[in-house]
Chain A
Amino acid sequence: MQAGVIVFPGSNCDRDVAVALAQSTGRPAAMIWHGESALPPLDLIVIPGGFSYGDYLRSGAIAAHSPIMREVVARARAGTAVLAICNGFQIAQEAGLLPGALLRNASQRFVCRDVHLLVERSAPPFTSRYNAGTVVRIPVAHHDGNFYADDETLARLEGEGQVVFRYVTAEGARAPDANPNGSLADIAGICDPGGRILGMMPHPERLADAALGGTDGRAMFDAALEHLS
């Protein structure tokens, strides 16, 4: 599987996700500068976390207009899998790849901590290695992760099984304390109707190595390798 990681000015999880991808796929990801106007052949496009353009204006808004994003959108529409993490999720929404918006955290504060996620959808290419209903532990680190969608969109996401992850307690219960940012319906990650574009606020690449205290995130990269090769 060949993965590509898009690098924007201000991305800062590009290297982290490349390390996790290389660990699972055994080969280096292509690092693609935002100013490029063409993409090499890729099986997976990752839009990484960070602070593209400093999060100025709105998180993800300026990066969504980068030249490369036109190509990313075209590839995604043509079926290439896209994993959009944290700032990548914000960019994907601004670029119209995923619905909803990510507002300022309800606490108004940046939040960096491990959260527990209920896997709502176990499916290729990203979450097939989790059983639906299991709880995984993955870190978040963001200021704007408060998921919002209007009622109609929310109903569609729920109805079509597009909610992939929800914030829960370690025991799997929905609870205000388990939701780090005020997201509607405790939503932590969603996908497009086809399931090949996944956006999530938590960072699976940050717990994909036992030396860092956990490997729950690794299963997503392993699954991608299995399904996208």
Chain B
Amino acid sequence: MSGAAGEVTPEVVAEHGLTPAEYDRVLEIMGRAPNLLELGIFSVMWSEHCSYKSSKRWLKELPTEAPWVIHGPGENAGVIDIGDGLAAIFKMESHNHPSFIEPYQGAATGVGGILRDVFTMGARPVANLNALRFGSPDHPRTRHLLRGVVAGIGGYGNCVGVPTVGGEVNFHDSYNGNILVNAMTVGIAPVDRIFTARASGIGNAVVYVGSKTGRDGIHGESMASAEFSEDAEEKRPTVQVGDPFTEKLLIEACLELMATDAIVAIQDMGAAGLTSSSFEMASSGGVGIQLDLDQVPCREDAMTPYEMMLSESQERMLLILAPGRQEKAEAIFRKWELDFAVIGHLTDTGRMVLRFGGETVGDLPIDPLAKASPEYDRPWVATPPPASVSLGEPGVPLETALLRLLACPDLASRRWIWEQYDHTVMGDTVQRPGGDAAVVRIHGSNRGLAIATDCTPRYCRAHPETGGAQAVAEAWRNLNAVGALPRAVTDNMNFGNPERPEVMGQFVGCIQGMKAACLALDFPVVSGNVSLYNETDGRAILPTPAIGAVGVIEDLSRSATVALKRDGDALLLLGEARGHLGQSLYLREILGREAGPPPPVDLQAERRNGDFARRLIAEQGVDTCHDLSDGGLLVALAEMAMAGRRGATVTLPAGPGADALQLAAASFGEDQARYLLAMPAALADRALQDAAAAGVPLQRIGIVGGGKLTVTDAFTISVDALATAHEEWLPGYMAL
């Protein structure tokens, strides 16, 4: 077999990231030594990214089923039934490393990739979100990375015309050398028009559409030097450049074709491009595939089969067309000025045969390669339980602490970010960024999707199991807080090197916690993504299992926002106030310590309190609600006041004679399963009665009104002063 020059030596095998044991497996499957092209294919198919070899064993433990789940993990994205004959299709994906190298393009192509995962299944994308983690604000690269990532997310999402409606941002020095850029897309499709990658129909055409293939992303390390000439570096951009304009055309063209009966199967070309897309399609359909690589639209001269199969050029899709539909399909793609090329057909051989220049240049069995990828049960050690923390004196008055917290990097307003995202395009954004969950109207109806992303990495490091559960619980809470019925989640598991047992222990712990929470809250995982090896010089990032969550609002006129709305409304605290300060932002920002156990997560209480809050909104017309998370009660109250430009007077839920530390704990403790609600007095009376009857902890803590926030026996501060502190930090930081 020729056409793929270069000898496969042990060094070349190692450069392709295959272990000697994995290479033995290759030899066994092939029954001979692979050529370089074939080796390249094995290497990408068995990479951590494509094969999930370290994480698979644990991901299997996550609950993935519910009556409303149409497709769980395993497809391009998760699919749930949202009623009225419609499905929500969503997933989150990381682009961490590329974004660190080149923040604008790395983040932009991350958005492009996740959009394709969603529209490849037949959905029109309706919302983008992004969960971002940067290094310490003092780190010299942080500003540059933040600026570039935000511009890249906006540059791509704004151009394709999908609103970017929410997300989260944390700063921590563990991300100094490994930022996290996790992008989520949600789309909507009719339930009876969902497309998968399952190829079928021997003889059916394999069609390539979208942009041309260049030498993008063929990484230096995983590349056999033998094959390339001197100027290899110059020729081979490892950073891919996104073309959102082409993506927009691709969305429209694919959706137009999807409205016909031409498509048998469809798959985006993501990481490992043509290789993984063609393998996945053939493997899931149980068929063989023959590709004629001479037909692949190339952007550059003299591209080799190796380069074509491994290129990560963006904005490309692979389709299997039904017989006789080629002309119709081609006309649509030509209309949208996109490349369209028949590059092969399906066979009954169960093999992938690659032809180039009149010769067979590669011939591999599909199933053994796709399904028999390595799976590791990596050794792990559980994270030792955190020591309890003894707190000294609070040090600063409550008022000062509140102002400092509102202006701290993890809590300061993200307006500077979301104003760079078009969050109102498509004309259905009912709740813009800034609330608990974004709410996007289901087009043409009075129903909505609520969407949020959450994770508190410092909790995950202190106690992975609690942190994993907390991430799911907080996402669930954010959906309830707007009045949505939480339905399902997607996850993005960002961790360090899984070959280190402590890191693997964090992974396992987080999974266990997520599993417990998903089960208790009827909140299955329908899609996800894993990003490992996020570490520099042996120092791993905080374990970061980012959760993206989707819920349904049946009647948008019965939903809630965080803004205080009327003077005279009663303020009600739902959930118990225990004043847990371990791992709190108060402890870190005011007392200067990252220590102690995270707040315990009581899933029964979460469920009970969340169901109660949602019913108040959806059934009794309560329209003001905010869940309590980072910063606790006073931060949440301040956020409600700033959003509504309206003050309030509250009494802290601390016993009489509480000392200064107890008052701080009541103000800023991060106890879970809590919500703060505001409602007219009559509704409040009824809610309190119902709660008492149902054994739900609910108490009146204050009243809305005026332009100031007053904490009885402590302080009074104007809402404007709070807003100034909250709004100034990020623009000020970025202006430097």
B-contacting residues of A (Cβ < 8 Å)? 9-10, 12-13, 15-16, 19-20, 35, 49-51, 53-56, 109-113, 139, 141, 143, 203, 205-206, 209, 211-213
Do A16 and B337 form a contact, CB below 8 Å, given A10-B245, A54-B244, A55-B159? Answer: no
| CB-defined contacts of A53 to chain B, threshold 8 Å | 245
Query: Across the interface, do A211 and B556 meet the contact criterion of CB distance under 8 Å?
Result: yes
Query: Across the interface, do A54 and B426 meet the contact criterion of CB distance under 8 Å?
Result: no
Query: Across the interface, do A10 and B159 meet the contact criterion of CB distance under 8 Å?
Result: yes
Cα distance A35–B426 in the bound complex, in angstroms: 23
A-B contact pairs, 21 of them (CB 8 A): A10-B245, A10-B248, A12-B248, A12-B426, A19-B427, A50-B161, A51-B158, A51-B159, A51-B244, A51-B245, A51-B248, A54-B248, A55-B245, A110-B154, A112-B419, A139-B424, A143-B158, A211-B556, A212-B430, A212-B441, A213-B430
Do A15 and B249 form a contact, CB below 8 Å, given A10-B159, A109-B420, A112-B419? Answer: no
- Which B residue's beta carbon lies closest to that of A207? B424
Cα distance A35–B331 in the bound complex, in angstroms: 14
| CB-defined contacts of B151 to chain A, threshold 8 Å | 109-110
Query: Across the interface, do A16 and B427 meet the contact criterion of CB distance under 8 Å?
Result: yes
Instruction: State how many angstroms separate the Cβ of B97 from the closest Cβ of chain A.
Output: 25
Do A110 and B427 form a contact, CB below 8 Å, given A54-B243, A54-B244, A141-B422? Answer: no
Instruction: State how many angstroms separate the Cβ of A113 from the closest Cβ of chain B.
Output: 5
Known: A54-B243, A110-B420. 9 other contacts (CB 8 A): A12-B248, A54-B159, A54-B246, A54-B248, A112-B158, A141-B424, A211-B441, A211-B556, A212-B430
- Which B residue's beta carbon lies closest to that of A56? B245
Cα distance A149–B152 in the bound complex, in angstroms: 30
- Which B residue's beta carbon lies closest to that of A18? B427
B window 377-436: CB within 8 A of A:
418-430
Query: Across the interface, do A111 and B424 meet the contact criterion of CB distance under 8 Å?
Result: no
Do A12 and B245 form a contact, CB below 8 Å, given A51-B161, A109-B151, A212-B430? Answer: no
Do A15 and B422 form a contact, CB below 8 Å, given A10-B248, A110-B158? Answer: no
| CB-defined contacts of A109 to chain B, threshold 8 Å | 151, 419-420
| CB-defined contacts of B428 to chain A, threshold 8 Å | 212
| CB-defined contacts of A56 to chain B, threshold 8 Å | 245
Query: Across the interface, do A112 and B420 meet the contact criterion of CB distance under 8 Å?
Result: yes
Query: Across the interface, do A12 and B243 meet the contact criterion of CB distance under 8 Å?
Result: no
Cα distance A192–B554 in the bound complex, in angstroms: 46
- Which A residue's beta carbon lies closest to that of B415? A113
Partner of A209, one of B248, B419, B423, B427: B427
| CB-defined contacts of B424 to chain A, threshold 8 Å | 112, 139, 141, 203, 206, 212
Chain B interface extent, by class: 20 to 34
B window 105-162: CB within 8 A of A:
151, 154-155, 158-161
Partner of A206, one of B161, B337, B427, B430: B427
Instruction: State how many angstroms separate the Cβ of B426 from the closest Cβ of chain A.
Output: 6
| CB-defined contacts of A19 to chain B, threshold 8 Å | 427
Instruction: State how many angstroms separate the Cβ of A52 from the closest Cβ of chain B.
Output: 9
| CB-defined contacts of B427 to chain A, threshold 8 Å | 15-16, 19-20, 205-206, 209, 212
Q: Which of A13, A50, A53, A110 has the largest count of B CB atoms less than 10 A from its CB? A: A110
- Which A residue's beta carbon lies closest to that of B244? A54
Cα distance A112–B423 in the bound complex, in angstroms: 7
Query: Across the interface, do A9 and B245 meet the contact criterion of CB distance under 8 Å?
Result: yes
Instruction: State how many angstroms separate the Cβ of B15 from the closest Cβ of chain A.
Output: 37
B window 308-353: CB within 8 A of A:
335-337
| CB-defined contacts of B430 to chain A, threshold 8 Å | 211-213
**4 closest pairs, A vs B, by CB?**
A12-B161, A54-B245, A16-B427, A51-B159
Query: Across the interface, do A10 and B249 meet the contact criterion of CB distance under 8 Å?
Result: yes
Q: Which of A16, A20, A54, A112 has the largest count of B CB atoms less than 10 A from its CB? A: A112
| CB-defined contacts of B425 to chain A, threshold 8 Å | 12-13, 16, 49, 141, 206
Instruction: State how many angstroms separate the Cβ of B142 from the closest Cβ of chain A.
Output: 18
Instruction: State how many angstroms separate the Cβ of A144 from the closest Cβ of chain B.
Output: 12
Query: Across the interface, do B419 and A113 meet the contact criterion of CB distance under 8 Å?
Result: yes
Instruction: State how many angstroms separate the Cβ of A29 from the closest Cβ of chain B.
Output: 14
Cα distance A54–B423 in the bound complex, in angstroms: 18
Cα distance A202–B244 in the bound complex, in angstroms: 23
- Which A residue's beta carbon lies closest to that of B441? A211
| CB-defined contacts of A51 to chain B, threshold 8 Å | 158-159, 161, 244-245, 248
Instruction: State how many angstroms separate the Cβ of B483 from the closest Cβ of chain A.
Output: 14
Cα distance A19–B445 in the bound complex, in angstroms: 13
Cα distance A14–B223 in the bound complex, in angstroms: 45
- Which B residue's beta carbon lies closest to that of A33? B335
- Which A residue's beta carbon lies closest to that of B426? A16
- Which A residue's beta carbon lies closest to that of B427? A16
Query: Across the interface, do A15 and B426 meet the contact criterion of CB distance under 8 Å?
Result: yes
